[in-house]
């Protein structure tokens, strides 16, 4: 049953050591004391490097789903991809077309950087970005573009599930020290980038599960590849978070 698979994937994610490391680093450690200013700059540089591929990897998976699912249902195939594409709609600021193109997630992150008082160049050209952050982005991009489609879908599911928790922790942990960081409050642009994900990520997660359900109705034998994708993503994610722990909290 697909509902059983959904529960199985959630268990794989939340029982993986990467989930515990996420809570320990971006949760307990980051909340326990404010980072020094130079560490904040490096932290932002590393995190921004780790999410470089997210908007484009979502588009890659959605496009591949459209092509694949049309072969099974010419008219409804794109509806499968739409469940993935909704995450890109938010990433690209297209979720309220009556207001036009709103700020993309990356533009919101740029606003956060500027609100911290850093320049874009300081962040993007930081000399001490941990290699694991770049490797995380490379892994997800490669899987989304060239990995088996079911595995790419599994990676996307894991990405959305972990992002929901990750951005909640970042908002709470950094926000816990907003005065010490010299921010204006919990609504400071430095924090609002994280907060928008608290609103949007649950939608992305639910839709990614629905995309999986519809895709596997066409290709039920590919279930093991979805599971493999989730596991591989969590392994890579755990490696990245452990590197964050060594760099900032150990």
CA–CA distance from 65 to each of 61, 152, 228 (Å)? 6, 10, 18
Query: Residue 35 pLDDT more than 60?
Result: yes
Query: Residue 1 pLDDT more than 70?
Result: no
| pLDDT (0 to 100) of residue 97 | 87
CA distance 245 to 106: 24
| pLDDT (0 to 100) of residue 96 | 87
- Percent of all residues in the chain with a pLDDT value above 70, rounded to a whole number: 99
Q: What is the pTM for the complete model shown?
A: 0.96
State the CATH number of the domain containing residue 28: 1.20.910.10
Structural domain including 199 reads: 2-248
Residue 126 near residue 45, CB atoms below 8 Å: yes
| pLDDT (0 to 100) of residue 2 | 61
Query: How many domains does the chain fold into?
Result: 1
């Amino acid at each position: 049953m697909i509902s059983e698979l959904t529960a199985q994937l959630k268990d794989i994610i939340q029982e993986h050591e990467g989930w515990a490391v996420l809570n320990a680093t971006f949760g307990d450690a980051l909340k326990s004391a404010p980072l020094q200013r130079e560490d904040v700059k490096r932290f932002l540089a590393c995190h921004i490097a780790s999410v470089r591929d997210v908007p484009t990897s979502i588009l890659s998976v959605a496009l591949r789903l459209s092509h694949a699912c049309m072969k099974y249902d010419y008219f409804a195939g794109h509806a499968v991809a739409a469940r993935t594409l909704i995450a890109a709609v938010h990433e690209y600021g297209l979720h309220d077309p009556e207001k036009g193109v709103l700020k993309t997630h990356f533009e919101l992150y740029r606003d956060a950087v500027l609100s911290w008082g850093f320049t874009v160049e300081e962040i993007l050209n930081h000399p001490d970005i941990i290699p694991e952050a770049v490797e995380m982005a490379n892994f997800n991009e490669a899987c989304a573009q060239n990995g088996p489609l079911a595995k790419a879908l599994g990676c996307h599911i894991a990405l959305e599930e972990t992002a929901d928790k990750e951005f909640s922790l970042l908002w709470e942990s950094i926000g816990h020290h907003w005065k010490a960081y010299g921010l204006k409050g919990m609504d400071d642009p430095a924090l609002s980038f994280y907060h928008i994900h608290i609103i949007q990520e649950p939608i992305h997660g639910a839709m990614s599960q629905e995309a999986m359900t519809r895709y596997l109705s066409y290709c039920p034998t590919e279930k093991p590849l979805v599971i493999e994708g989730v596991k591989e993503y969590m392994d890579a994610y755990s490696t990245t978070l452990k590197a964050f722990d060594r760099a900032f909290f150990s």
